[in-house]
Amino acid sequence: MGEYKSLSAITDDPRIKVPAEEYERIRKAKNYYQDNLPQVDYYAMGNKCKRKLNSINVTKMASRRLASLIFNEQCSIKVDDNQLQALLDVIFRREEFYTTFETELEKWIALGSGGIRPYVEDDKVKLSYVDADDVYPLNSNTTKVDEIALSRRIRKIENNEAVYYTLLEFHQWGSNKEVDDQGNVYRPYTITNELYRSGDSNNIGELVPLNSIDEYADLQPQSTFQHLEKPLFAFYRNAGANNKSLASPLGLGLCDNYWHTVDDINATHDGFAWDVKTGYRRITIPKTWVRRQTQINGKPIPEGSQMYWDPKDAVFVPINARNDDSSLFKDLAIQIRTEQYTASMDFFLHEFENEIGLSQGTFTTSPSGVQTATEVVTNNSMTYQTRSSYLTQVEKMIDQLVYAIAELLQTPDVWSDRQARWSGDIDKLTITPDFNDGVFVDQEAQRQSDLQAVQADILPKKQFLMRNYNLDENTADQWLSEIQDEQSPEPPEQEMSMFPSEGGVASGRSRDNASPDDGESK
């Protein structure tokens, strides 16, 4: 079960090399991503009050924008092994990978890191996604993470009290190489499962048996694999250096260096919203101007309760004053500072766009109004460069995921019949993700350019169809064949006989080939 029987925090385990401060940073980023921000203090009539911050969740906005630009349902993953490709297609379709990955990527970009753990259940490969606060690298090598701990937490009610169970799954390579019965040298790969129980949500608690709860009753405390070449997980980290902890393998969250700008955006939006809320029209009037109702159903109303205006009208505010002076009639409405707030918001949003690497105008109105497709492509140059950096990390993770799935498919012990599903060579496997770059391409401009290339005989028609109409090779060949049939110079004689010529001759001969007196001989 392990030597360490109790943990206050997961980072207290000596096998984990990432400092605890990294997860404090991740928790802060998670609060911003969830829009879980402190309330605003303000004073009313000398009393201190609190209210919710009227914020703009730019962390989610930016993460979602990047995730959709990087990966979407139009993307695909190809390998150069037909058998493995067929198996991957089934797994990704069943697990809805191409839609789920974009959603998970959004969170990973916001928090900095994430992971995917493929596993076999009921003889099916399934995918488990893990966020940054549940990923614990076991080494401090910032270029490669091949050992990791993944955490999962379950809340239960026991004896009318909340109890928290935390599963820690350690993936580790053996320190020494071993030899199997056939004389093959291998480095053992071990997965260790440990379950902790605590009555405090802020504490991991005591080590307990895995069968303490039904969810993990079937798990083995430890499983060792002899001939794995790749780890059984895929790790993602954001592009760029982690300047908060230079030795940490975890990626930096999208806004971790720019919370001050995010706070400025939220403060500006909150100030404008508060201006609107408190700036509705108010007019003071003398108390005597208010219509009075002295009786109800024949019964007198006390003088202090006689004032009556429109109970639904919050504009007029009666003022008690000794003198019934018309000067008391005052319009107290304030002018909402729309232009000032708009200019301030645009300034901070432009600053935010520059900081996170998105093009000007991503979150603000374009100064030139409606843009052409070519202008969008040009203005998106910074976004494209940023996207390319993230794509490198996503492609690296996809490679790790395919390798991990391939390892499971060729490991007999994880299947009920002890038969491997794939027997290919992982080292010779070529993985090719297609990220669908069409979002950054002016497709009409590309089509016109390619058409000119076809007319100049420097681009094959088949390639033109495949590039511009997203056709596969077989469909492109079919299109070309049909085009050639339609353009045939001599249609079949049987078809031509169905249509009389202008002179009334129903034959396969054209009008030009008919004899001069064919139309006058009758």
8 Å CB contact between 455 and 464: no
Provide the pLDDT for residue 285. Answer: 74
Say yes or no to pLDDT of 151 above 90. yes
Q: Would the pLDDT of 522 be above 50? A: no
Mean pLDDT to the nearest integer, 318-330: 67
Helix (H, G, I), strand (E, B) or coil at 189: strand
d(CA 266, CA 58): 9
Q: Where does 252-364 have alpha helices with state H? A: 259-278, 338-356
Task: Read off the tokens for 1.
Answer: 């079960």
Q: Which residues pair with 296 in a beta bridge?
A: 299
The predicted-structure confidence for 183-210, as pLDDT tens digits, reads as follows: 778 889 999 999 999 999 999 999 999 9
CA 509 to each of CA 12, 299, 443, 516: distance values in angstroms, whole numbers, following the listed order: 94, 110, 45, 13
Q: What is the pLDDT of residue 96?
A: 95
Q: At 467, which helix (H) or strand (E)?
A: helix 461-469
**Does pLDDT of 133 surpass 80?**
yes
Q: Could you report the per-residue pLDDT of 394-424, keeping only the tens digit for each? A: 999 999 999 999 999 999 999 999 999 999 9
| Helix intervals (H) in 167-300 | 259-278
- DSSP sequence for 283-300: EEEEGGGS-B--EETTEE
Count Cα neighbours of 443 within 13 Å in the Cβ-side half-sphere. Answer: 8
Q: Is the model's pLDDT at 512 over the cut of 50?
A: no
- DSSP-derived secondary structure for 70-102: H--TT-EEEES-HHHHHHHHHHHHHTTHHHHHH
Asked whether the predicted pLDDT for residue 483 surpasses 80, the reply is yes
| pLDDT at residue 139 in the model | 82
Cα 454–Cα 456–Cα 458 angle in degrees, nearest 5: 65
Residue type at 273? A
Residue 295: which residues within 8 A CB-CB, separation 6 or more? 301
| Token output for 261 | 């700008």
Chain centroid, CA 89 distance in Å: 22
For 440, the 3-state DSSP assignment is helix
- Asked if residue 51 has pLDDT above 60, the reply is yes
Mean pLDDT of 231-254: 94
pLDDT of 75 > 80? The answer is yes
Examine the pLDDT at 156 and tell me if it is beyond 60. Answer: yes
